[in-house]
Amino acid sequence: MDSSARKRKKFWRFKTLNSSITPNHVGIIMDGNGRWAERNGLHRTKGHASGLKVTKAIVAHVARSPIQNLSLYTFSTENWTRTQEEVGALMDLIATHLKAQIPFYNDYGIRIVHSGSKLRLTHRITDDLAQIEEMTANNRHLTLNLLIDYSSQEEITRAMQRLIEQHLPITQENIERNLDQPSLPKIDCVIRTAGEKRLSNFMLWQSAYAEFIYTDTLWPDFTALDFDQAMEEYSHRHRTFGG
C-alpha cells in the first residue's frame, strides 16, 4: 500500500467508529495561491495554476470519503478588483478546465452545482456550467458546489429580491428556499488556508454554526493529509448549536 493510501486509511478508519463525527458539508476557502507563487519566485498566475492541481486532488480525495457535499470558494465577487492580468488568467483557467473535467467528475460520481452571479461571467463559462450541471446531475457520490463570482451578501440579497417578486413573506424558511443552492445542507466545517482567520463573504447564511479550522499552509501546498488532519480536528469539536 502506498503512503497516500495509508494516510487515507488512517483517517477514514477513525471515522467509521462514530458516523456522527462525519461532516455532511465542508466548505474550503482556498487561499494563498498568489503568496505561494511570490515565495517561489513565480508570477502570481502560476500560483493559481498550481492551486488548480491541488483542488482536483482534494476533490478526488473527498469524493472517496463519506462526505457528501463540498463547497469551494473558487472566485469571489471581490476578486474582480484584482489586476486585469490576474483576473484574466483566473477566468481563462476556469474556462479551459470546466468542460475538460467532465470525465473526472463522472468517474468519481461528482455532481456539479454553481453558486454566485452569472451576470459578469462570459457566455462560454455560463454555457459550460449549465452543460456540466446537466451532464453530472445523476452523480451521487459527492455534490461539488463551485462558488464562481460569489458573494454571500449578494446571494442573500438575491434571495430577498425573489421573495419580493413572488410576494412571499420574509421568513427564514423562505430565504433558505431562495438561496443559490437551496438543496444543499448547512455547512458543518469551514477550512481556510494561508493563515487568514476571516470568512471573507463566504456562505454567511450557511455557515452560521459551522466549525472553523485554519491552517497556515498555502493552498498549493495543501495535501490530502492536511485535509484529513482538519477532519480529525473537527471530530473532536463539541457542537452545541447555541444550546
Confirm whether residue 116 is marked as ligand binding: no
Confirm whether residue 198 is marked as ligand binding: yes
From the list 31, 128, 180, 228, the catalytic residue is 31
Q: What would the pLDDT profile of 225-240 be if each residue is shown by its tens digit?
A: 999 999 999 999 988 8
Confirm whether residue 24 is marked as ligand binding: no
Higher pLDDT, 1 or 114: 114
Residue 76 is predicted with a pLDDT of 98
Confirm whether residue 82 is marked as ligand binding: yes
Cα separations in angstroms, 113 against 44, 168, 180, 243 = 28, 26, 9, 33
Confirm whether residue 76 is marked as ligand binding: yes
Confirm whether residue 219 is marked as ligand binding: no
Q: What would the pLDDT profile of 84-97 be if each residue is shown by its tens digit?
A: 999 999 999 999 99
From the list 18, 40, 69, 79, the catalytic residue is 79
Domains of the chain: 24-215 (3.40.1180.10)
Cα–Cα nearest to 29, from 175, 241, 224, 199: 199
- Residue 20: pLDDT band (50, 70, 90) is low
Summarize the confidence of residues 112-130 as an average pLDDT. Answer: 97
Whether 79 is catalytic: yes
Q: Which three cell numbers stand for residue 225?
A: 493529509
Helix H or strand E segment including 145: strand 142-150
Residue 239 is predicted with a pLDDT of 85
What predicted TM-score, i.e. pTM, was given to this entire model? 0.91
Q: Which three cell numbers stand for residue 29?
A: 476557502
Work out the mean pLDDT of the chain and round it to a whole number.
92
Distance CA 204, CA 115 (A): 13
